[in-house]
Amino acid sequence: MKVISTPQEFNQDDLYVDLEAITGHRLFLKCEGFNFAGSVKLKAATAMVEAAERDGLLTPGSILVESSSGNLGVALSMIAAGKGYRFVCVTDSRCNLPTRLLMEALGAQVHIITEPSPTGGLLGARIDHVRALCASDDRYVWLNQYTNPNNHIAHYRSTAPAIARAFPDLDVLFIGAGTTGTLMGCARYFRTWHRPVRIVAIDTEGSATFGHTPGRRMIPGLGAGIRPPLLDTSYVDEVVHVSEPETIRTCRQLARHGFVFGGSTGTAVRGATQWLDQQEQQVTAVAIAPDLGERYLETVYQSNWVQDLYGEDALRPETVPATGPAS
């Protein structure tokens, strides 16, 4: 029996889904959504808050503030509620309504940015808003997930070792790129592991993370309007870009098999499948699923929303190959 006194003490870190029957490949999905925050962002949020407390930046009168597309905001809302801090989440119009309501239920204030910055898009506008809040009142403490080293250290110390223990014969790891905290933490860990592991970053089309021209992105989670400061491309072996209609079709394909995951997971699985389709030999592969799908029921899983934004083709079912790659 496990007994906890704070919500961040619980996190299911060793659950994997074998996707071979769905994708036709020996692909294992690491599920990171089974905690009270509902996503992998609990790890980074906990590490950043605890470091700020150790450094004396957070005091009983502090007001936490952070820019988030959703999941980190929920994690920080939960931790702030448990520790007695006030929290302001600065998000934008792409943030799912259930996510906003959950943050507010946890006691957070949610500021929604609707106008993009001329150079940094909605993310740049969110960061500008956070900076303005901090300049207006010295009680605000910005953890800054985009530059905070504890964002990737959390995954170096927890996520990557958990994968290494479960898959000692791992060949390739697929990781979605948002702030790149998970990507950088895992990539740094496996760079010095006992066997080579190929690190494949999965990004969404319309993201500027890996030098592409920024474009429209309606599904929160992965991608960025500006290059993430944490990113060091020397740790990344390959990058696969996935379109949002492909993300939606993959999420819905997984749901038809009983697994309702979030948009970032659909992107990661689709990118992993695209990469594995090109391989001639079977490999042991793991992809990271950042969250579950309940917060996407009004978007990714809502047919009218999908059809209005992407057209009828985005509702077309994915097909599963009859056989996997050659052995």
Residue 94: inside a domain = yes
Same domain, 136 and 155: no
Whether 261 and 164 share a structural domain: yes
Q: Lowest-confidence range among 117-121, 158-162, 176-180, 214-218? A: 117-121
Tens digit of each residue's pLDDT (9 = 90 or more) over 143-195: 999 999 999 999 999 999 999 999 999 999 999 999 999 999 999 999 999 99
pTM of the prediction?
Answer: 0.93
pLDDT digit string (tens) for 4-54?
Answer: 999 999 999 999 999 999 999 999 999 999 999 999 999 999 999 999 999
Q: How far is 267 from 265, CA to CA, in rounded Å?
A: 5
- The 10s digit of each residue's pLDDT in 284-298 is 999 999 999 999 999
Share of the chain above pLDDT 90, in %: 85
Q: Using CA atoms, how far apart are residues 225 and 75, in angstroms rounded to an integer? A: 22
Same domain, 108 and 185: no
CB 157 within 8 A of CB 184: no
CB contact at 8 A, 72 and 45: yes
- Give yes or no: residues 229 and 304 share one domain: yes
Same domain for 158 and 24: yes
Q: Which residues contact 283 (CB under 8 A, 6 or more apart)?
A: 26, 171, 172, 276
Give φ, ψ of 92 to 5 degrees: -135, -175
Cα–Cα dist 41/9, whole Å: 14
Distance CA 157, CA 159 (A): 7
Domain that holds residue 101: 41-142
**Average of per-residue pLDDT across 212-225:** 88
Alpha-carbon distance of 90 to 175, in angstroms, equals 25
Residue found under tokens 């309606």: 218
Q: Report the C-alpha gap between 7 and 78 in whole angstroms.
A: 7
CATH code at 209?
3.40.50.1100
